[in-house]
Structure 1
Amino acid sequence: MEYEPPKHAVSVSALVMNEKSEMLLLRTHWRSDTWEMPGGNVEVGEPLDEAVCREFLEETGIVIQPIGITGVYYNATKHVLSVVFKATYVRGEIRIQPEEIKEARYIQINESNIGQYITRPQQRSRTLDAMRAKCFVPYETWEINLGYNLLSRLDNE
């Protein structure tokens, strides 16, 4: 039997809150039954922190700065590894791509009302974990050719 390398997709999303402690959530056309954190698939060779910034900007028009990872999740059916970041708002106004995104807005979410907005259990657990996170998992991006070059690092400092 010949070795076949695993084929997994990697996705990223981010929890961003405004000054009123409302989180920016969106609904897509293909998952319009639930609200979720903005995000999407990582491109081949793309650092995760750059991917979450790119996806967030594409989906919402908002520029963010990741501050750490709040959780890592795996969809065993679709072979998707999902990494969730907490991030801060940098600049921009909500602007959506209507062919992909149905709606995006800031919503006041808490543990008692989350089920009214985030109806899918895997999205709900990711959001709750991100809301509750008091510290973050360190994340580094390295470029390794003839030497070792640290491109970026996120940690609790």
Structure 2
Amino acid sequence: MSYEPPKQTISVSAFLQNEEGEVLLLRTHWRKDTWEMPGGNVEVGEPLDEAVCREFLEETGIVIRPIGITGIYSNTTKATIGVVFRAEYVSGEINIQPEEILEARYIKIDELNIGEYITRPQQRSRTLDAMKAKYFIPYEAWKMEPDYQLVSRLEKKITLDV
């Protein structure tokens, strides 16, 4: 019997707030009914932290720095693992690619009004988890050959007033 590797997709997204505490959210052509955090699928062999930076930049025009993971989620129907990062702003202004993104903007959301913007329950819980996160899950990316080599590590503990 031969081994067949699992066929799963890994997606990443990032929670980014501006100085006023507003969250950068977007709407896509294929999910017009909801706002969501920017992100997308990880390419084969791509470190998760690099993937979230790439996807965020592609969708918003903004350069971010991931500072930690706020949650890991599973969609068993589509065999997708979702990883949500908290991020810091580095540079850039909102500049969307209209073929993919309908709209991107900073929105003031909280537990009371989140349902007005984020209509899908799985996206709502991920966003709330990211908003409330006081500690982040450490993340490492390793290059295994020719020698074990640490590519990146994210580990940051913060206390947020939520």
Question: What TM-score range do you get, normalising by the shorter chain?
Answer: over 0.9
Cα displacement string for residues 18-44 of structure 1 (whole angstroms, at most 9, x for unaligned residues) = 000000000000000000000000001
Aligned-partner Cα distance in 2 for 1:113–1:52: 26
Aligned-partner Cα distance in 2 for 1:46–1:69: 16
What's the offset of the Cα at 1:2? 4.8
Aligned-partner Cα distance in 1 for 2:4–2:147: 29
> Is 1:35 the equivalent of 2:35?
yes
Partner residue, 2:101:
101
Matching of residues 4-153 of structure 1 within 5 Å: 4-153=4-153
Root-mean-square deviation (CA, aligned residues, Å) is 0.9
Sequence identity of aligned pairs in percent?
73
Aligned-partner Cα distance in 2 for 1:141–1:40: 18
Structure 2: stretches of 5+ with no match in the other structure: 158-162
Aligned-partner Cα distance in 2 for 1:3–1:95: 44
Structure 2 letter corresponding to 1:14: A
Structure 2 letter corresponding to 1:19: E
What's the offset of the Cα at 1:147? 1.7
TM-score for both structures, normalised by structure 2: 0.95
Structure 2 letter corresponding to 1:129: D
Structure 2 letter corresponding to 1:79: A
- The alignment covers a number of residue pairs equal to 157
Aligned-partner Cα distance in 1 for 2:126–2:41: 16
Aligned-partner Cα distance in 1 for 2:28–2:56: 13
Q: Which moved more, 1:3-12 or 1:116-125?
A: 3-12
Where 2:140 maps in the other structure, the secondary structure is strand
Aligned-partner Cα distance in 1 for 2:135–2:84: 13
Structure 2 letter corresponding to 1:50: E
Cα displacement string for residues 112-155 of structure 1 (whole angstroms, at most 9, x for unaligned residues) = 00000000000000000000000000000111113211110000
Where 1:73 maps in the other structure, the secondary structure is strand
Partner residue, 1:155:
155
Aligned-partner Cα distance in 2 for 1:3–1:76: 21
